Amino acid sequence: MAKLTFKTDLCKGCGLCVSVCPKKILRLAKEKINLKGYSPVEITDQAACIACAFCATMCPDCIITVEK
């Protein structure tokens, strides 16, 4: 099973990772705000992740780590 981790305090909520996820399991948090004042990315279903790493590749701030 794949494991996604996020450095949420560095996320600026641009949504690029959300838009490229083929499984549509990423979203911007609705109830969380990080230290920069943005809604960070979060995963809705860790088990559904296929570890394609499109999200990590697309992230301009390199806050996403994908482990298989």
Q: Which domains does the chain have, with CATH numbers?
A: 3-67 (3.30.70.20)
Looking at the chain, how many residues does it have? 68
**What digits encode the pLDDT tens for the residues 2-59?**
899 999 999 999 999 999 999 999 999 999 999 999 999 999 999 999 999 999 999 9
Identify the pLDDT of residue 68: 85
Encoded amino acid at 39, one letter: S
Per-residue tokens: 26:
């990423």
Evaluate whether 18 touches 12 at the Cβ level (below 8 Å): no
Locus of tokens 């560095």: 10
Q: What is the pTM of this model?
A: 0.90
Band the pLDDT of 1: cuts 50, 70, 90.
Answer: confident
Other CB atoms within 10 Å distance of the CB of residue 44: 11
C-alpha–C-alpha distance, residues 45 and 60, integer Å: 23
